A and B are shown apart, each in its own frame.
Chain A
């Protein structure tokens, strides 16, 4: 992952919990298939109804609110987002476990301040064709009238950029792990 340039799907709702992202009835799967993102929020008039419109086709970025992904530890949430074609979520803050789960699945959590987020929503509201560019290397989010730096943990950045995976890193340190366990 280097740069993402895409139109956005707006979801201006705070505290979107993982039960909304993927309701519990989808958790009976034993693979990553069959997950319907925002299944209960897609009816007309509901917050994610836009997902079934042409506007959302091909969008790789979700423009969310504050405290995105709170609630359960289910990794089905990022799986459902990635499965629906998303590669990044922009929000004013993320819940811890969600953020970790997202990064492990190549979904980039882009955290910006509330004013920037409000601006992005405002621009998107007046121009549905608005493009954003997310530059992982520079940790920079660009949109019409917006240039915002976003934080990312350096290790996670390295993993995303180099396609390194955490399990590989852990396995490479088995000797140290064994030594620690031997100490008791």
Chain B
């Protein structure tokens, strides 16, 4: 009797010597411009080549502008970083979804939508939100630049076997409550270090009921509880999604995937559970992702340092507090389903005068699909900015920033000090809550509008 994690893990262990970590074989290595240049330099210093370029896929997302422009126009450091990745890919025969191309997008949006991410795989990337791909029943985790070099050189990694943590969510989500609210509630329960050393498997009827976009949102933020990976067993929802990609499942794959889910009676090192029917829209008040509270709850006491940075007072609710910026985007919430949810609220309404709203699709494909549905018109008519794909205000490396001291309701994944720009104050929430807040000009409960 094995868990989903144990099946994928044991399938990929090449060997393990006593007292050493396991050598884990990697099926898919995703690469982007920020964490790879030093790895390629290291590789070339040793005179090595990329061992399996066909298992390596690169994109440009972090430092790319979201306004239409061209490479020569970019700020010199960003340009050099993008040019370096292009040269490295060229030299090593790696497929690149370059800036400005028709197939580019955020690395964790691209893998799933191009059918690269598949159940039972091991997937790594020099980015901690690689956990996103676990929504397909893959073992996917973020690595550092030294490890990027290891994978480039050998298509393997040295890994200690993590422990397993089951997070079970049973019951039905109420209207206006989304996958984002589920994961913010889970992180609030576990704490930012609560998942350290574990791989999470999300189970239960509420998880099963989520579509792939919702599942990706949940797995995406596993790292915010300290867990390197989050997984959800593949089922018909997974298979239907993959059937619509460029690479539909083969019969052989389907047979393999059916055997992946955790066996009845298999045990986890630790388990927690939540009742979906008790969950409400969540929003964070602090500078760590575990500071999520129900949207209408007062800010709890005992976080003086965070509250001083945020300019907030304990005992008062966030609901009704003025906001300056609303960001819908990032690998957490930039898929077509997220954009539809936000557009659903904005249709026939207008973004408040005091608010700047930025909508950034996760990929070129999502951008085109959204435009085909007329979502861009909805956003523009409501007074929001409709941008080119990229990480944008999630990490604020590309010029899209929240000004110092200003409040942003953001669908991204981190509210760390300065994450969205020096001095920026981030309130993490779902696309519904973000759109409702944009319309109200204040933190708003989406349940009043859906």
Task: Please give the residue numbers on chain A whose beta carbons come within 8 Å of chain B beta carbons, in ascending order.
Answer: 13, 15, 17, 19-20, 23-25, 27-32, 40, 66-67, 70-75, 93, 95-97, 100-101, 104-105, 153-155, 166-167, 169-171, 173-174, 176-177, 180-181
Say whether B340 faces chain A, with CB atoms less than 8 Å apart. Answer: no
The answer for the CA separation of A16 and B80 in the assembled complex, in Å, is: 30
CB of B417 within 8 A of CB of A75, answer: no
- Say yes or no: is B374 at the interface (Cβ < 8 Å to chain A): no
Take A20-B417, A177-B156, A181-B25 as given contacts and tell me if A28 and B38 are in contact as well, using a CB distance cutoff of 8 Å. Answer: no
CB B177 to nearest CB in A, in angstroms, measures 27
Residues on B with beta carbons closer than 8 Å to the beta carbon of A181:
25, 155
List, in ascending order, chain B residues with CB within 8 A of A171's CB: 153-154
Contacts A72-B128, A72-B142 known; list 11 others, CB within 8 Å: A27-B34, A27-B397, A30-B80, A67-B193, A67-B196, A73-B128, A75-B38, A104-B144, A155-B20, A176-B14, A177-B154
Do A177 and B25 touch (CB < 8 A)? yes
Q: Can you list 27 A-B pairs, Cβ within 8 angstroms, ordered by A?
A: A17-B414, A19-B414, A19-B419, A24-B395, A28-B81, A28-B397, A29-B77, A30-B80, A31-B37, A70-B288, A71-B416, A75-B144, A97-B228, A104-B144, A105-B146, A153-B21, A166-B146, A166-B150, A167-B153, A169-B158, A170-B150, A170-B158, A171-B153, A173-B15, A176-B14, A176-B15, A181-B25
Instruction: Give every chain A residue within 8 A of B288 (Cβ-Cβ).
Output: 15, 17, 70
Is B62 a contact partner of A100 (Cβ separation < 8 A)? Answer: no
- Which of B62, B157, B305 is in CB contact (< 8 Å) with A27? B62
Query: Is A40 in contact with B417, judged by CB distance below 8 angstroms?
Result: yes
When distances are taken between beta carbons in the complex, the residues of chain B under 8 Å from A154 are 19
A97 engages B144 (CB within 8 Å): yes
Contact B397 A24 (CB under 8 A): yes
Q: Which residue of A lies closest to B306 (CB)?
A: A15
Complex formed: what's the CA distance from A72 to B226 in Å?
10
Residue numbers in B under 8 Å from A23 (CB-CB): 418, 422
Q: A177 touching B143 by the CB < 8 A rule?
A: no
CA distance in complex: A154, B17 (Å): 12
Chain B residues closer than 8 Å to A29, beta-carbon distance: 37, 77, 81
Q: How far is the CA of A171 from the CA of B23 in the complex (A)?
A: 11
Task: List chain A residues, Cβ under 8 A from B296.
Answer: none
Looking across the interface, which residue of chain A has its beta carbon closest to that of B419? Answer: A19
Name the distance in Å between B306's Cβ and chain A's nearest Cβ.
9
List residues of chain A with CB within 8 A of the CB of B370: none
Chain A neighbourhood of B193, CB < 8 A: 15, 66-67, 70, 93, 95
Would you call B192 and A15 a contact (CB within 8 A)? yes
Complex formed: what's the CA distance from A67 to B197 in Å? 12
Given contacts A71-B128, A105-B146, contact A155 B19 (CB under 8 A): yes
- Is B142 touching A73 in the complex (CB atoms < 8 A)? yes
Of B37, B128, B305, B396, the contact of A30 (CB 8 Å cutoff): B37
| C-alpha spacing A166/B38, complex, angstroms | 16
A32 in contact with B38 (CB, 8 Å): yes
Inter-chain CA distance A46–B21, complex, in Å, is 39
Query: Once bound together, how far apart are the Cα atoms of A13 and B77, in whole Å?
Result: 32
B147 within 8 A of A: yes
B445 at the interface (CB under 8 A from A): no
Nearest first, the 7 A-B pairs at minimum CB distance are A101-B144, A28-B77, A30-B37, A75-B144, A73-B142, A75-B145, A67-B193
Complex CA–CA separation, A97 to B162 (angstroms): 12
Chain A min CB distance to B251 (Å): 16
Cα distance A44–B13 when bound, in Å? 50
**CB–CB A70/B19 < 8 A:** no
Q: How far is the CA of A155 from the CA of B17 in the complex (A)?
A: 10
In the complex, whether B112 has a CB less than 8 A from a CB of chain A is: no
* A174 to B395 Cα, complex, angstroms: 37
